Amino acid sequence: MTHDAPRLLACGDTAFTIEFGDRIDPALSARVLALDAALRAEPPPGLCETVPTYRSLTVHLDPLVADPERFGRAVLALAAEPLPPPATARLWRIPVVYGGEFGIDLDAVAAHHGIAPEAVIERHAAPEYRVAMIGFLPGYAYLEGLDPGLALSRHPHPRPVTPAGTISIGGAQALVASIAAPSGWHLLGRTPFRNFVPARDPVFLLRPGDRVRFMPTPAERWDALAAAAEAGQTVAEPSAA
Amino acid sequence: MSGVLHLLRLSGAASIQDGGRPGFLRDGLSASGPMDRLAHAAANVLVGNPPDAAAIELGLAGATLRAEGGPVRLALAGACGPLRLDGEPLADHRSFLLAEGAELTLGRPRAGVFATLAVAGGFGLHPVLGSVALHRRAALGGLDGRPLREGDRLPLAGSAPAGAADLCLDPVPLESDRPIRVVLGPQDDCFASDGLATFLEQEFTVSGQADRMGYQLDGPAIAHGEGGFNIVSDATVMGSVQVPGTGRPIVLMADRQTTGGYPKIATVVSADLRRIAQRRPGEAVRFEAVDLATARKLAQGRAAARDALQENLRPVVGAAERLMAANVAGAAVDAFRDD
């Protein structure tokens, strides 16, 4: 279902969600990020924080300052207006070692689609992705732009632990995982890049709207890159558009 | 020199919490902070701290602590068990001095889950992203990014102010006798009408899977609508009631995942977050839908109760006050009621 107009959804007295649609779609994400940028440029009284996702923007507010109902309707009206796209996003080139112990599901994904593992790597590394949202756990970057030919529903039984830096796909989504966590997604590779490092300034690097490219990297380079990352280097320097 | 609070014994969950770490939801980091903000504020106000100062949050825990390197002024509020100072019984919801070398024993709470033990001056811990609150999943804040454990020596930020009077407050009520109020949505339209009826009319119980991330509830399964139980992930808030494919609701709490792909039938109003937090495994939960205007009034009432803590402080005067127990403060409890 596509919503012609955004919808206002209640999330209790301290938040509401502006829903632009119920699917993963670059056009929806662009509207989410445009509304996010507009609110952050001129925060209305009572605004606490905003959370962009693939298809919606959740707005947190202080109910002692702002009336959640009126605030929600005002933001809904803003969401229905044509808004300027956010400022040009940064591009991150993220090194990925694919397959083997780094991406234990690569061969199975290839077999499922009836193509060679090298073709999966090629198709996963070809697009320029956009960070649609950071969520679930600190620094988990959910991307849009996955080749539809790679889409694959999640494992029915999630693995209890997948390593930090896991590069995976699930459904039509692509993910850069920051910390170790359970996952039902398909693990294609791993990156030494860390989006979330509490002791680093800045703690988080990727932002919603940023662009991402995956750079296939030989396994022999892992140790050097991992050591550089350990020493505090980002190993995926951003560049302006 | 500044002293330490030595955690000699601990059974149950304990972590450092302060007002929390808002502002990073867009980075996937939930705010943490106290599960019962009113109890946290009460304990802090009793020892002269700002309401959101760092303190020890105990979850269904018992503990023994010793002051080392100097005396320390303490207060316990929220879900309290029997307190003993060097073996002598002591009331909760009051401040007292723990002399150097003296031992404080906290029994497991008689009712409720979370208690806050506040320390005058707070702890000498380094804030991460502006807060010392532990976020366990992110290994962030607290003492070395982890929960407290036996043997920990918690560094104190200051020394106990000399000559400060012992103060007390009416116990903050746990309000476990009434339904948890919710605002329906954001995805109540993902549920069949009988699913909504199950949610609002049936009784649930808190399961054994209940922690600072979320409270899974047992009870009748809540039926989804024809669209099924998967949505494209969107954001959660503290109090989101998400219903996965099993139909068993989970109330997401302070350390929750920030986004999720299950529909959320309702959201616990902010004023009742502490009330659901204080329900322990096996205890009953019923939900009652209210509108946003009511939810906002409840939030204002809760804020007023918190602001009133400071002016309600009174000196501990005698044996009656010392031994005043939570269950005899009936009139005081009514003063906190917000309807």
In the prediction, which pLDDT does B272 show? Answer: 98
> What whole-number distance in Å separates Cα of residue B29 and Cα of residue B213?
12
Categorize the per-residue pLDDT at A233 as very low, low, confident or very high, splitting at 50, 70 and 90: confident
Exposed/middle/buried for B307, CB within 10 Å: 0-12, 13-18, 19+? Answer: exposed
Q: Write the residue in A23, A198, A204 that is nearest to B232 by C-beta.
A: A23
Q: Are B231 and B258 spatial neighbours (Cβ–Cβ below 8 Å)? A: no
Cα separation values, A165 from A17, A34, A94, B126, B324, Å: 30, 29, 10, 27, 54
Higher pLDDT, B334 or A50: A50
**Looking at beta carbons, which residues of chain A come within 8 Å of B137?**
137-138, 179, 181
Cβ contact B257–A137 (<8 Å) = yes
Question: What confidence tens digit (pLDDT) does each residue in B200-239 have?
Answer: 999 999 999 999 999 999 999 999 998 878 889 999 999 9
Give me the residue label for tokens 């003063």: B335
Residue B330's pLDDT is 41
CB A38 within 8 A of CB A82: no
Residue A181 with chain B: CB contacts under 8 Å: 137
Q: What is the DSSP letter of A112?
A: H
Give mean pLDDT, residues A19-38. Answer: 94
Q: Tell me the chain B residues in contact with residue A69 when contact means C-beta distances shorter than 8 Å.
A: 292-293
Interface test with B, best of A1, A13, A40, A50 (most B CBs within 10 A): A13
CB–CB of B28 and A196 under 8 A?
Answer: yes
> From start to end of A20-149, where are the E strands?
47-52, 56-61, 91-98, 129-134, 141-144
Please tell me the predicted confidence (pLDDT) of residue B319.
54
- Whether B101 and B134 have beta carbons less than 8 Å apart is answered as no
CB-nearest to B26 from A56, A69, A134 is A134
How far is A167 from chain B, CA to nearest CA, in Å? 17
For the segment A56-91, what is each residue's pLDDT rounded down to a tens digit?
999 999 999 999 999 999 999 999 999 998 877 899
> Chain B: residue nearest A170 by CA?
B232
Q: What is the pLDDT of residue B164?
A: 81
Residue B318: the pLDDT is 65
Q: Test A11 with B260 for CB contact under 8 angstroms.
A: no
Give me the pLDDT at residue B160, please.
Answer: 67
DSSP H/E element including A176: strand A173-176
Contacts of A188 (CB under 8 A, 6+ apart): A96, A98, A99, A103, A105, A106, A109, A120, A121, A124, A167, A168, A169
User: What's the CA gap between B95 and B76, in Å, rounded?
Assistant: 8
Q: What is the CA radius of gyration of chain A?
A: 19
CA angle B213, B199, B189 (to 5 degrees): 90
Confidence label for A123 from pLDDT (cuts 50, 70 and 90):
very high
Report mean pLDDT in 10-residue bins for chain B, 339 residues: 90 98 98 98 97 98 96 96 96 96 97 97 94 96 96 88 85 89 97 96 97 97 88 95 94 97 96 97 97 98 96 82 46 41
Listed in sequence order, the DSSP H helices in A62-144 are 68-80, 106-113, 117-125
- For chains A and B, count residue pairs whose Cβ atoms are closer than 8 Å: 153
- Overall average pLDDT of the A142-156 stretch: 92
Q: Sort out which chain A residues have CB atoms less than 8 A from B265's CB and list them.
A: none
Residues of B in contact with A142 (CB under 8 A): 233
